[in-house]
Amino acid sequence: MKKNYLKIKFSFLIKAFIFYFLLFFEVHADNLNSNNFVSIGSEKAPVKIKIFSSLTCPHCANFHNNIVPKIKENYIETGEVQLIFIDFPLDEIAFNASKLLHCLDEKKQISFLDKIYKDQAKWVAATNNIEINKNLKKIAINFGLNLTESDKCLVNEEISDKILNGRIQANKKYSINSTPTIIINEKKLKGSTSFENIKKKIEKII
């Protein structure tokens, strides 16, 4: 019950922050094209695929574990596709996981992302958010962040703002209401997020 309350509370705070930000500040959607996100593949690739996901989302884990490898094998290694992973946290724990991701050395970020999704069912399996955060910190240790660094990361306002601003911009530009949301060359993928459907879109471009 407490865990559900915290999720609802975080969701309310996120929505309140987004409303305040959009009301008083101009959001620059071009920032979504920056190098502030985890990516794999050539920057010169003709197909840019943006993946908006929440690190606690089971559907996102399924996509990352089963669809991303097929895209990598068929299109990234040939230089035809670049994948860009953009945080869209749906709860407090996903927000914290995203913070740790962006506190890591850039060379280790994609491996951390792989680990987070591969073992998602394990590290989220705890009785409360404090225990889940401990699980996250244990994973981060293996990627170069000690406990002190992880604690500092979780309260780092610059990292927090970066993630929340990206979420705000994405919501404004693409009207994202679920994760994962896939954007291929600035067009939202319609229908299934299966490899077959994505393949059809890629083939039409290349």
Place domain 2-201 in its CATH homologous superfamily: Glutaredoxin (3.40.30.10)
Q: Is the pLDDT of residue 200 over 70?
A: yes
Per-residue pLDDT band at 15 (split at 50, 70, 90): very low
Q: Please report the pLDDT score of residue 36 as a whole number.
A: 67
* Closest by CA position to 202, among listed 79, 111, 90: 79
Q: Is the pLDDT of residue 93 over 60?
A: yes
Q: What is the pLDDT of residues 140-182, one digit of tens each?
A: 999 999 999 999 999 999 999 999 998 999 999 999 989 999 9
Q: Is the pLDDT of residue 201 over 80?
A: yes
Chain-wide mean pLDDT for the chain? Answer: 88
Per-residue pLDDT band at 128 (split at 50, 70, 90): very high
pTM: 0.83
Per-residue pLDDT band at 16 (split at 50, 70, 90): very low
